[in-house]
Structure 1
């Protein structure tokens, strides 16, 4: 496990050595291709699951008829990683770096994950946000090889048969999108497939879920994006989006087909659905399937973790703060729900009382009862407090004097000079979280937040920002990336055999993540731990989630392991090369 240990030294003490890299993660779910014979010759080199490229030894080459098919040099996996990273760094264009990494995944799966794990802080922005946004926008043009499963409205009535075409029958995690609200970019139709592919790469690299058990799915019901409909290179259905009952029937058939094909314990993560569908689909299926919406619940958990980690800098407990949101969509209301749950437990008050410390601003101003509760979308109604009308964010700050400002509006510049200075006026260390993705949609930059608050802001963002000099010292920026949360949630569900996801999972995940932030991290300006520790962090989160699953009676993997933390580490996929004989 040289690569994993290099990326995270704590693994050296886990007592785990498995040269095959197939561990206890899902020992009742065998790796599908390993049950087959190992290919030889060119077939072996063309199979990304088993190809080791120039790392095949002389003995390998004799046994598997590879002599003459490779150059004579023999490199270790570590040397291959060094070469890959050198080539990636030589490319100035982020999209080209993304394509190079995808090409690597297509030809050598283990080397792809070993490289991503060892250089996670450098390469995660390449394989996911912010670069994946551009990749999705240009998906039809750069499309090379299909990764994942495409289910269209034309497959209605035979979704189960389409699922059966996927070669792996032991799937543990599915990430599914319909492409209607990709990041802050809007309706990208089938080109949203880049998101499930990227998310599942992180499930494996950061959470240790075997790649053979990950299935990316895009449901194509058309697109309302006229630019794509007129694009000769668009690879999806060229029709307007199907909505209403026909859409609901397709989703219902899909969810039932998934459970029929892969069982009760397959995790289905909804990703980048529009607000009009995201909330109701989550409510509809959360009691019948193992499912969650990462935009609503994952974002909430990682944001709450950042707020908890900021408390030693900001003062008080969660119950002592007042929160104001710019944005009242699925991310904003999801975060608000989890904050209210945390406040209620911390302050020993009802969730209804806790909500009174949380206010939301949308495109029409502060969400208040005076606007007419029944005229508001359902997900906003419980946040419509009794308060005089307020028309803008800056007016809301002056009226409410919040201690924390959270941006989930995808409105670049929403936190302007006046907003930031007003926050600093009412609190000596205001919390400013500009969480919108990609970078072009962030409410403000790290530099703007620190400059306009004279360095007082406790800042985090959704996209990565470089260090900023504050009072002559460099200050790092914490990135509130969902990748801190969802891999650990997934691993926790798998190791416990959870059959449902409870809201408490996201609360304990946030607490576990916040616990990994050290005083040294905070001194550098971070309210999230460095991603170099992400596999340990994921194991800690998985342990907390699994523990709560057992406590709530949702776990089916019995008996419960004596040491859940050590068990979660043993369960994580190891990308080191296997020996085939």
Structure 2
């Protein structure tokens, strides 16, 4: 990398240290007179950043400040985020990123990422070549059709890949120069967006069918040609497309779908950890899902693998899993069952949600609906009636779409629930007991998987890697964390988590013969050496 000088150096977000340049550096790089007298090291700079964040009047204003900081001083942004992850991550990603996506065109400051539209057909390789970096290892791509629980946000959905890239860098130490956020801007069926005069996206209805599929095909092939070391993470695609792309590309490209596989692994890890509290054997559990979308389907498929690893056969594993949708319990004699859910539609009587819980008596209830309040007081109390410690995981985010809040779950279960959620919640004081519910955030999984795949240059990303990631995550939760009701480790340990998962992924890749590099015997030291540290 060419070292810049003068104002160009100060304006370059990757190279600048701003007021931290020393006297000697100011002389060497032509910076004398361009900076105030004081030399403010990174600690003093972080103090200033945190002060500015905390005086903002809303979370969206804090998000705007942080994104502006990223555009101005990359290393300071990531140093602050890493050192204050519990405060910064909810602002950079869920739940604030949902509001940021809704307002994306209105708060737009500076282009980040690559935009591909139907008009670029035949030229996608050329567009990728316009990216300023050549050693790309991580690509997060969305088409904006199913952003969180918010639906079709079109090109405004670019906030998701930008946020996920920030998590790869902060949580797993992937180098910023090796990351690329991508928006497949194929239109939007959100009429209000298309009619918004400030909307920045392709202002037409979504393309679909063969035309849409061929554009995605061209993108994947172009990535493999230009960036052969890149891992493609598909993000926030509509469920049918999400599963189709996973089936289509999963055995020919280095890729995965975070909504399906990342969500599955973090949820499975939470269930694994819950067994340490309930003292139940994982293989004895009965698990019920509310929702039949890509997240729920992906969790169920990984849980089948987990049950089989615990000694059950596939049919026995599938029999442990039940689904409920807006029509009630999904059973075998119903019409219109989604193909990925058919294996879990058992021969059983028809029941509404509450009656299904009473009849089937699940140990674990998992919500992936995108609909707020679906875990009502009656539902939570019924789970608490049939379980000493009911396990309730409300995955939907942002917070406004969660199936139930932490305080409701603890209150309605008289403090006996083991609760986790997709969105963060503050600690809950119930009598003399303080509960600290952990967020079941995919950030516990996908950064570590990405680091592991990069470390061993795995040709493919397999289900067994996500199974290993779930086991590694569950095993790292401390007894102290469990004592306050948390089934995930503190976010302060996120880089330790990612490093541990990366090592586990490397071991799986080695056992499956998928590595394209020779790995040293000391995998732990090797993986740790790859992790980017945003220091001056």
CA shift, 1:219, in A, is 0.3
Of structures 1 and 2, the one scoring higher in RCO (CA 8 A, sep 6+) is 1
Cα shift at 1:561: 1.4
Deviation of 1:171 after TM superposition, in Å, equals: 0.1
Task: Please report how far the alpha carbon of residue 376 of structure 1 lies from its aligned counterpart in structure 2 after TM superposition.
Answer: 2.1
The answer for the alignment partner of 1:215 in structure 2 is: 180
Contact 1:184-1:410 within 8 A present in 2 as well: yes
What are the Cα deviations for residues 67-122 of structure 1, in whole angstroms up to 9, with x where unaligned? 11111110111111111011111112101101111111101111111010000011
Q: Which of residues 449, 457, 466 in structure 2 aligns to 1:497?
A: 457
* 2:521 pairs with one of 562, 566, 573: 562
How far does the alpha carbon of each residue in 1:460-512 deviate from its partner, in whole angstroms, 9 at most, with x for none? 01100001112322110110000000000000001111010110000000000
Aligned position for 1:62: 27
1:370/1:388 contact within 8 Å kept: no
Q: Could you say which residue in structure 1 is the equivalent of 2:346?
A: 385
Match of 2:468 among 504, 508, 530: 508
Q: Kindly indicate whether residue 94 of structure 2 is the aligned counterpart of residue 134 of structure 1.
A: no
Assess if the C-alpha contact under 8 Å between 1:455 and 1:471 holds in 2: no
* Range with greater deviation from structure 2 (175-184 or 566-575): 566-575
Unaligned stretches of 5+ residues in structure 2: none
**Residue 312 of structure 2 is aligned to residue 349 of structure 1:** yes
Q: Distance in 2 between matches of 1:547 and 1:274?
A: 32
**Partner SS for 2:89:** helix
> Which blocks of at least 5 consecutive residues in structure 1 are unaligned?
1-33
Partner residue of 2:153?
Answer: 188
Per the alignment, residue 266 of structure 1 pairs with: 230
Q: Could you say what secondary structure the match of 1:466 adopts?
A: coil
Give the SS at the match of 2:370. coil
What is the CA distance between 1:389 and its match in structure 2? 1.7
Q: TM-score, normalised by structure 1?
A: 0.91
**Aligned twin of 1:371:** 334
Q: Distance in 2 between matches of 1:78 and 1:43?
A: 24
Cα deviation, residue 393, structure 1 = 1.4
Are the aligned partners of 1:174 and 1:215 in contact in 2 as well (CA < 8 Å)?
yes
Deviation at 1:134, TM superposition (A): 0.5
Hey, what's the Cα distance between the residues in 2 that align with 1:388 and 1:248? 39
1:140–1:235 CA contact under 8 A, matched in 2 = yes
Corresponding residue for residue 417 of structure 2: 457
The number of residues matched between the two structures is: 536
Distance 1:211 1:367 in 2: 44
C-alpha separation in 2, matches of 1:507 and 1:206: 20
| 1:139-172 CA-partner distances (Å, limit 9, x unpaired) | 0001110100000011011111111110111100
State the 1:180 CA deviation: 0.1
CA shift, 1:525, in A, is 1.1
Cα distance in 1 for partners of 2:315, 2:68 equals 50
In structure 2, C-alpha distance between the alignment counterparts of 1:365 and 1:163, rounded to whole Å:
46
Counterpart of 1:533? 493
Q: Are residues 1:288 and 2:248 paired? A: no
Q: TM-score normalized by structure 2?
A: 0.99
Give the stretch that moved more between structures: 431-440 or 314-323.
314-323
Which of 169, 183, 189 lines up with 1:224 in the alignment?
189
Check whether the contact 2:283–2:312 (CA below 8 A) recurs between aligned residues.
no
- Counterpart position of 1:103: 68
Q: Which of 81, 86, 107 lines up with 2:46 in the alignment? A: 81
Map of 1:137-536 to 2, 5 A cutoff? 137-263=102-228, 265-346=229-310, 348-372=311-335, 375-390=336-351, 392-536=352-496
Q: Residue deviations 1:201-251, cap 9 Å, x none?
A: 110100010000000000011000011011011000111010111000100
Aligned counterparts of 1:77 and 1:237: Cα–Cα separation in 2: 41
> CA offset at residue 450 of structure 1?
0.6
1:327 and 1:318 mapped to 2: Cα distance? 22
The match for 1:548 is: 508
State the alpha-carbon separation in 2 of the partners of residues 192 and 539 from structure 1: 29
3-state SS of paired residue (1:553): coil
Kindly report the root-mean-square deviation, in angstroms, between the aligned alpha carbons of the 2 structures.
0.8
In structure 2, C-alpha distance between the alignment counterparts of 1:92 and 1:351, rounded to whole Å = 53
**2:526 is the alignment partner of 1:574:** no
CA contact (8 A) 1:410 1:437 kept: yes
